[in-house]
Amino acid sequence: MENDAKHNSENLSRRGFAAAAAGAATWILTSCGPKRLYEVPKDRLRTKISELEQRYQQRYHEHINVADTQPMAGVEYAYALDLSRCIGCRRCVYACVAENNQSRDPQIQWIRVLSMEKEKGVDLAHADPYYNPPEVPEEGHFYMPVQCQHCENPPCTKVCPTAATWKERDGIVVIDYDWCIGCRYCMAACPYGARHFNWAEPEIPTAEINPNTHYLGNRPRTKGVVEKCTFCIQRTRTGRYPACEEVCPVGARKFGNLLDAGSEIRYIIEHKRVFVLKEDLNTVPRFFYFYAT
């Protein structure tokens, strides 16, 4: 009898130990070390972000606000660009650089405007991103700005060994810079050349830093991580238009909610001649090119 009880209690404590050990292991796995944004418990997120803001404060001597605005319900973003309007002025490129804190030196630009010959049509093999005439548009040329296409079926997110990049519910393909190890597999996988690597510590003049940032968007990056267009996540998740859309002098850029039947994006898809880049790769871009006239 006595023996039995002893046996029992020993058993209990052993079981208790196992449970405690498992608990500790889970605790270690879930609460130590960096996390991808979606795994961080909501109550810890703010602490994590304010730590980040403090680090930025030290580095840039300015308060940089890092938001973690979540996707809106019933919203999936899409972009449309009117090829019959774009004049290749590159205003969008530089508005994007300023808004999204891209490195000035080494130079990183999320938007690349390609000059193409009207005779050849959309022909990437003969496209020139370095065109530099005194005035645009040039005779016989048209222009095709290319940036992240926010594919429905993104090849880049599948190859990431650390799952540092993924597609959000509102369709934005994002990168968690804290998880990016800089292997650049995603850059090889992207058929649009939309991803860019920080080969050196990015350099931005302090006066030009945009202090309104998003965790998954334009917060300052470091050397060794990949970055790309986020549809201006810091603006669009609060209802605003992306920076490139607002700056375009000819109004070639259009943005909106694909799920809203009254949006301009739906009007374009339903009424204009629309195509996507490299349709044959089945990436299903959320970035449409169209001809309004």
Partner 1 sequence: MRLAAFTLIAAAALLRAADGPGTVPAGSASNKPDQERVETPPPPFTDGIFPCSNCHATQPVNRTRRELKDMHTDIDLRHDETHRWCLDCHDATNRDFLHLASGERIPFEESYLLCGQCHGEKLRDWRAGVHGRRTGNWNGTKSYLLCAHCHNPHQPRFHALAPKPAPRPPARPSR
Q: Quote the DSSP letter at residue 103.
A: -
Minimum CB distance to partner 1 smaller for 39 or for 260: 260
N residues, the chain: 293
Q: Is 205 in the site for partner 1 (CB under 8 A)?
A: no
> C-beta of 249: minimal distance to ligand SF4 in Å?
6
Q: Beta-carbon neighbour count of residue 112 at 10 Å?
A: 17
> C-beta of 278: minimal distance to ligand SF4 in Å?
19
How far is residue 264 from each of residues 52, 54, 243, 253, 259, measured CA to CA in Å?
37, 40, 17, 11, 11
Residues 6+ apart with CB under 8 A from 30: 39
Q: Which of 37, 40, 49, 87 binds partner 1 (CB under 8 A)?
A: 87
**CA dihedral for 122, 126, 128, 129, sign (positive or negative):** positive
Contact between 94 and 210 under an 8 Å Cβ cutoff? The reply is no
* Contact pattern for partner 1 over residues 24 through 63, marking x by CB under 8 A: ----------------------------------------
Minimum CB distance to partner 1 smaller for 66 or for 248: 248
In the range 20-49, which residues lie near ligand SF4 by CB under 6 A?
A: none
Task: State the Rg of the chain over Cα.
Answer: 24
Contact between 80 and 254 under an 8 Å Cβ cutoff? The reply is yes
Q: Is 259 in the site for partner 1 (CB under 8 A)?
A: no
Query: For 30, what's the count of Cα atoms within 13 Å in the CB-facing half-sphere?
Result: 12
Minimum CB distance to ligand SF4 smaller for 143 or for 166: 143
145 binds, among partner 1, ligand SF4, none (CB under 5 to 8 A by kind): ligand SF4
> Which residues make up the interface to partner 1 (CB under 8 A)?
72, 75, 82, 87-91, 93-94, 107, 109, 112, 129-137, 236, 239-241, 245-246, 248-251, 254-257, 260-264, 267-268, 271-272, 292
> Which residues make up the interface to ligand SF4 (CB under 6 A)?
86-92, 113, 143, 145, 247-248, 250, 252-253
